[in-house]
Amino acid sequence: MNKTKRKIFETSMKLFAEKGYDATSIEEITATVGVAKGTLYYHFSSKEEIFEFLIEEGVKLLKNSISIKTSKLNNTIDKIRAIVLIQIKILFKYENFITIILSQIWGNDARNQLCKRYVFEYIQMIEEIVKEGIEKQEIINGDSNVIASGIFGFICSSFIYKMRHGGEIDIQQLFSEVDNMFIKKLANK
């Protein structure tokens, strides 16, 4: 991605997260980036295309990070720990992205459906690991969809913790708390 496209992408993400998609105009994006509308339209055909690109790139980053890390692990609990740690890191590093995707999964318009589809695909990825763990008897027997959705939801709730906390968060400390409260309880003893 070239420098101008990246600047449009990052500015749009910030504005969408702070103001919402509907309240953010193309004019505001171009003014904040400092480019003409023609330059923006050279890179993106519409505000909707910027949004779709933003969601696709963010989810791709998350899924690729998870795939790379979990492919090197054999034990399901270790894979779940990797998922949780990566998701926490991405949640805090790309806060604007998470704000957008979580705020847009409610409703039935095209943007909502896009966000739901990507969130559900990501949860499905977690579910496949959970199913494998149940089959290998490494984690407790249960509904893999509920467990995978719970993992995703539990980590998203750490975003609320961050907002309530207000300051810097020790990611490793937060991960340890999640590990003790949730992940260790999934292990089939």
> What would the pLDDT profile of 135-172 be if each residue is shown by its tens digit?
999 999 999 999 999 999 988 888 788 778 876 788 89
**Bigger pLDDT: 167 vs 102:** 102
> Can you give the pLDDT at residue 122?
93
Q: Over the chain, what is the mean pLDDT?
A: 91
In the chain, what are the domains? 1-45 (1.10.10.60), 52-186 (1.10.357.10)
pLDDT(189) > 80: no
Q: List the single range of 25-39, 95-109, 110-124 with lowest mean pLDDT.
A: 95-109
Query: How would you class 46 by CB atoms within 10 Å of its CB: exposed for 0-12, middle for 13-18, buried for 19 or more?
Result: exposed
Q: Which of 46, 42, 127, 39 is nearest to 83 (CA)?
A: 127
Q: φ, ψ for residue 168 (rounded to 5)?
A: -70, 140
- The whole-number pLDDT of residue 1 equals 72
Question: Residue 183: its pLDDT value, please?
Answer: 92
Q: How many other C-beta atoms lie within 10 A of the C-beta of residue 129?
A: 22
Average pLDDT estimate for 121-138: 96
- The pTM of the full predicted model, rounded to 2 decimals, is 0.87
The residue to which tokens 């604007």 are assigned: 96
pLDDT exceeds 80 at position 9: yes
What is the reported pLDDT for 170?
Answer: 87
Whether pLDDT at 42 is above 80: yes
Q: What's at 98, amino acid-wise?
A: I
